[in-house]
Amino acid sequence: MSQPESPLFANATILEAVTRQNYPAATLYVVATPIGNVCDISLRALHLLSLADVVACEDTRNTAQLMTRYGLHKPLLAAHQHNEREVSDKIIARLRAGERVALVSDAGTPAVSDPGAKIVDAVRLAGLQVSPLPGASAAISALSASGLVHDRFYFVGFLPSKAGQRDSLLQSLPAVAATLIFYEAPHRIVDSTLAMLAAFGPGRKVVFARELTKLFEEIHRCTLGEAAAWLTADTHREKGEYVVLIEAAAETAEDDQLEAKRILSVLLKECSVKQAASLAAQITGQKKNALYQLALQLKGQVSDEDDNQ
């Protein structure tokens, strides 16, 4: 049976639209690549990669593999988290010589929990052009399929690997009135989920978006109270890449936090952080731990104000 003609590549109008566009020289192009499915790359991204003089990439082997799939062969320049500052100088020199430089990471959008931001910063500081070629991002893909309805989202990214720092960051989030988006490694998914349960309580909805766009993609929605059982019910779930989303706090939680801030600000003028958190917990009925973290933040602000008086 003959294959149906691809509507994309048979369509001269689309090809013409891609190639007709202006891709100025002496520009750094930040190019999104697939997060799992090799087909998730835009036509513009492919065209730009074919025009680029050099491709700066997180891992030259991964990028070479992707480029080969599309019949592209370009000089590659390693640009990873350990050499972003040094490689920026090389990229700036190439841009000043009038080259087009493409910047890619191993997966998804560069500079989003990936190397790239320092390079873009340096190129901008040098007064040179930077242009994005948008495409896949695990965070936005997961959000779009989560069904968590809210106008705002808050991208947290990876949690700190140390438990103390992780817990204190989580304690600062329960009242945030926005869908929360986390990236997590499979070997930490159960521990982090238990830490989220401790911070947010068992009733909060959570979505696990695992292996997006890949063969074994799974998107599961439950409450944090049910989450550990789901994660441990299948050993495959200890593997793969995860985006974790937590439903936004109800708007009233934002009001509660404003009230807690008001009360803590008064108490902190007279009491220690610990006493203020304890009294505020009795007055508001909110969790002492979360109030303690809030009091610590406010204490910094109160002493700054005192210093300025």
Can you give the binding site for ligand SAM, defined by CB under 6 A? 35-36, 105, 107-109, 112-114, 137-139, 183-185, 209-214, 241-243
CB closer to ligand SAM, 8 vs 38:
38
Q: What is the DSSP secondary structure assignment for residue 56, as one 8-state letter?
A: E
Number of other CB atoms surrounding residue 217 within 10 Å: 15
* Residue least distant from ligand SAM (Cβ): 108
CB closer to ligand SAM, 95 vs 209:
209
Helix intervals (H) in 58-180:
60-69, 84-96, 117-125, 138-146, 163-171
Give me the least distance between CB of 157 and ligand SAM, in Å please.
Answer: 8
CA distance 21 to 46: 13
Give me the least distance between CB of 25 and ligand SAM, in Å please.
Answer: 26
Give me the least distance between CB of 5 and ligand SAM, in Å please.
Answer: 30
CA distance 206 to 228: 11
CB closer to ligand SAM, 189 vs 249:
189
Query: Which position has the token pair 């809210």?
Result: 150
Give me the least distance between CB of 150 and ligand SAM, in Å please.
Answer: 20
Give me the least distance between CB of 176 and ligand SAM, in Å please.
Answer: 20
Which DSSP helix (H) or strand (E) runs through 179? strand 179-184
Question: For residues 115 and 77, is the Cβ–Cβ distance under 8 A?
Answer: no
CB closer to ligand SAM, 207 vs 276:
207
